[in-house]
Chain A
Amino acid sequence: MKPDERDAVAERLMNGLEPPQTPPDLRSKVLAAAHARMAAEPVTNIWSTIWNNRGVRLAWAGAAALLLAGHVFLVARNGAVPSRVDPALVVENHVDEQFVDMLRPAPISDNVQPVVGLFAAASSLTDLDLEGNPS
C-alpha cells in the first residue's frame, strides 16, 4: 500500500456507509455554551497576569535583577570561598580533590589538627602537646 493510500477492501466495505449524524438539538446547546464561554472573562492565572501586565512584568524583572546584583556584590565583597584542600598538594600528589575530601578525617574540635597522613601540617608534628592539640 502506498503512503496515505486507503485500503481498498475497507473502502468497499464502508462504501455508502457513514458515521451517524449529530443529534439535532446538539447545535444550539453547544453553541450556547461556546458563546457563553467567549463572552465570559478569560480565565487567568498569576503567571499570565505577570506576563500580560507591563508594570508587573517590569517589577518582576527589577526584583530578579536586584537579587542577581546583590548576589554578585556579596560574593565580590567576601571573596571566593577558600578551598579546603591545598591546591599545591593536589598538583604535587596528583590527588583528586573529591577523593581528598573523602579521606579528610573529621576534626574533633577546631583546636585539634590531624597528625597523620597527607593532611598533617609540616610544623604540627613538632608543636603538639600530650593531648595532640597544637601548642
Chain B
Amino acid sequence: MTDELPPISNESNRANRHADEDWRDLFADLAAGRLAALDELYDAAESKIYGLALWRTGSEEDAADVVQDVFVRVAEQGARLAKVRNPRAWMMTVANRAAIDLIRRRSRRQTEPLQDCAYLITAANDGERTLEATQVSALLAGLPDTHRIVIYLRHFAGCTFSEIGDVVGVPKFTAASRYRNGIQKLRKIMEGDHEAR
C-alpha cells in the first residue's frame, strides 16, 4: 500500500453513523407494527442491498430477486427486529446469504461469464467516464467474488472490517486480509491490462 498518499476522509463513516441511527429507528417502528416504516427502510437500504447482490451474483435479475427476498425476510421478523443491534450490517448479512442461496439454487448460471456485468456506472452521462466504468467493471469481474464483495462493502456500503466480517461470516482480520488481497489482485490485473496494450 502506498502510505504517502493522503488518508481517506472519515466523512462517510460519520454519515454512516447517522444512517445507522435512522435504520435502528426504522427497525423499531417496524417491530412496533408501523407498516409505513417499510417504505422508508426500502428507500434507505435498497441501493446498498442491490449493489451487494449485484456484486455477489453478477446478474441484475438475481440482484433484484435478492432485494425482494431481503425485504420479505425483514417483514417476517416482526417484533424481533427490535433486538437487532446493527440493522445495516444485519440487512447486509441477510442479503449476502440470500445471494449465496440464489447462486446455489441457480448453479447453472455460475458457468455464465460475468465479464459483461456492469458493477460500476457513472452518475453523469460522460462518455469517457462511462468507458472507465466499463473497464473497472471488467477488472472487478476478474476478482474472486469473496474479494470483490469485501471491496464493495468497504467502499460502497461504508462497512468497517468488523462489520464486513460479520456480513461474510469471517473474522475481522480475515475480512481485512481479503480486502488487501483483493486490492493487490486488482492492481495486478491493471498492470497486466496495461502490459497487454
Contacts and interface: CB of A to CB of B under 8 A. Distances in A.
Interface in A1-39: 1-11, 13-14, 16-23, 26-27, 29-31, 33-35, 37-38
B155 A11 contact: yes
Given A1-B1, A4-B161, A10-B183, A31 B71 contact: yes
B8 A6 contact: yes
B139 to A, nearest CB: 8
B6 interface: yes
A33 B76 contact: no
A88 interface: no
A11 B24 CA distance: 29
Contacts of A46: none
B102 interface: no
B123 A8 contact: no
A5 B10 CA distance: 9
Given A7-B1, A35-B75, A22 B118 contact: no
Contacts of A11: 8, 155
A17 B151 CA distance: 14
Given A3-B176, A11-B8, A18 B156 contact: yes
A21 B47 contact: yes
Interface in B138-191: 139, 151-152, 154-156, 160-161, 176, 179-180, 183, 186-187, 190
Given A13-B186, A20-B121, A34 B47 contact: no
A89 to B, nearest CB: 55
A18 B121 contact: yes
A43 B75 CA distance: 12
B106 to A, nearest CB: 19
Given A13-B136, A19-B119, A27-B42, A8 B8 contact: yes
Nearest to A29: B68
A42 interface: yes
Given A16-B123, A18-B123, A38-B35, A9 B2 contact: yes
Interface of A: 1-11, 13-14, 16-23, 26-27, 29-31, 33-35, 37-38, 42-43
Interface of B: 1-3, 5-8, 13, 35, 38-39, 42, 46-47, 50-51, 54-55, 60, 64, 67-68, 71-72, 74-76, 78, 118-123, 129, 132-133, 136, 139, 151-152, 154-156, 160-161, 176, 179-180, 183, 186-187, 190
